[in-house]
Structure 1
Amino acid sequence: MNHDLRQLVNGYLDGVLTEEQEGELNAWVKAAPENAAAFADMVRFHDRLHNVMRIQTTNATPNEPQANPAPTREARLRRYWRRGALVSGLVALAAVVFVAVWSSNPPQASAATELDRLIERADEGRDRSYRIRTLDAAPEQPGERRPPIDEATLHVRQPDQYVLVRKFPDGRLFVTGSDGEKSWSVPPVGAGAVRVSGDPLRFRGPVPGHQHGVPFADLRSDLVQLRDAYVVSPLGQDAAGNRGLLAVKKSAAYRGPNRVELWYDAATGVIHRMVFAGMPKARGGPDSVAIELLEQRELGNDFFRHPAHHAADRRVIEED
């Protein structure tokens, strides 16, 4: 950011910009994701510095009576020295705060680099099993034919094989999946035939985010979409030491949840948790969903084919 733009941002934070200057700043922020990230960094720094200065000023300057006699020359010198020391201390403290903020919130370029690295490693590693939890305050209401997604299990083999196991309140299982070439649906016994489709996306609707453009079962596709359609910024580390990224949708014209959190092991690139928030409600389902890693192990090739999930005598319909 050049000097003039920094002045615009500072003026905005101080509330002294003209309408023309506000328009100029708004155009710059919208021009590129890195501009929006730089603006957000300065706002966060300004807020934290403002709070620190308010606290330090309150602690360092005691309340004085409304009316005081004229201070002596010696008292004026002591007051001047005290204020100068306070200002110097705040400047030093501001430098520390700035370093802390910058360290915990690296530049936008760092987040983009991390995302590219995760995309490169998306197809690596063993099969992974995730638990799905809804984060909505009100529980999801399952239908007669649609089990809830809460507490479901998602097994994934990259790039495009998955098995999603959902459970009705009475314990019956509804299993959908894909072996990478065909998708399939196995309803509970007595609820219909097993269906198989040549369209690998045919039964992926229940997978969190799919109907909204983020099919978690294809991790590489997810990450590429985050890179292209979202503004990505760092989130620091969680209690387990996993590194976080926050992706905020650039425009309502893009499909997908409004916000995605992604937490991963920086050394291995394994994603331990993803949170989809603000998903469109046109087709029902929860507003916010978390997907958390349970384990990594080889599941075998047959696991991603429908015969592994139903009895041999079940009726099977090939749709196309």
Structure 2
Amino acid sequence: MGKTVLVTGVARHLGARFAARLAARPGIDRVVGLDSGEPWGGMAADGVEYVRAELRRPAVARVLAEYAVDTVVHLDVSAGTGSRAAAKENNVIGTMQLLGACQKAPGLRRLVVKSTTAVYGSAPRDPAVFGERMQPRALPRDGFGKDATEVEGYVRGFARRRADVAVTVLRFANIVGPAGDTPLSDYFALPVLPTVLGRDPRLQFVHEDDAVDILHRAATEQARPGTYNVAGEGVLLLSQCARRLGRPTVPLLGPALGLVAGAARWTGLADISPEQVQLLSHGRVVSTGQLRETFGWEPARSTPDAFADFAAAQAGGLLPPARLAAATDRLAELLTRQTPTRS
């Protein structure tokens, strides 16, 4: 018997790639892509039926019923860009709405949720390596990490209420690749990388191809309920990342980096959030033993290999022209506001 899979968050690169791969798999009758934005180019040709709707609207329940969905892959939990309030509403309220619709879908048998290792936070006294059952010394207080923590709480509640549904939560380290479109990718695209004076944090990455692969396995093969950290083997220091990119670094005191991050956000150069400043200060490393031993899978590319593929796709040290032009426009606007007019 075939399957009908609903994939949220398909207006972004990763979601579109994953949905297209699902649609090409034998045994999948239907793939329905749901997002509030414009569909990623070529989605219709890839055999994905696109539904434009916001997660936090009642239309989600109608989609589940109309298409008789038996598997939901929830990818629409992300750091986002722009308004923090809008991102939180989509991540948390949208997930609550989706889970409410799933609760009332009798034919649902599997739920896969994309989460993040940001749920562990980044603090100076953190353990060297986080395992899935370990709690951070302090839960993330804001940003994407806090959103993901709340989302996972609602997902655990859903799993208790619907014991007949296999629920898998995948906590991804930073996803990178040639088409990197994340806030951390924006940071690494800066011509000069601001860093924290005296700190060289350890970082982990997952190649986008491996991210698509594990999502595909979680959605289509034997169900393996549980929560799993997903990261390429090994670590990279921030200084090693900079050298691989050929970018110079500018060490700053922590407060100064916060000011630079705010200026980068305001001008549109990069969306460096306070949460990301913490990561660039203290780093974060997770264990992937559960992924290998229980889920039975490991990424094909290590952390250094994944980052090398990302670095190879970067163009020199210059910002993309569109982003440079947008930043220039914002600076001109600021200068115009601050220049007194003469009567």
Larger radius of gyration: 1
By percentage of residues, which structure has more helix?
A: 2
Same fold, TM-score > 0.5, yes or no: no
By percentage of residues, which structure has more strand?
A: 1
TM-score, length of structure 1 as denominator length? 0.23
TM-score, length of structure 2 as denominator length? 0.22
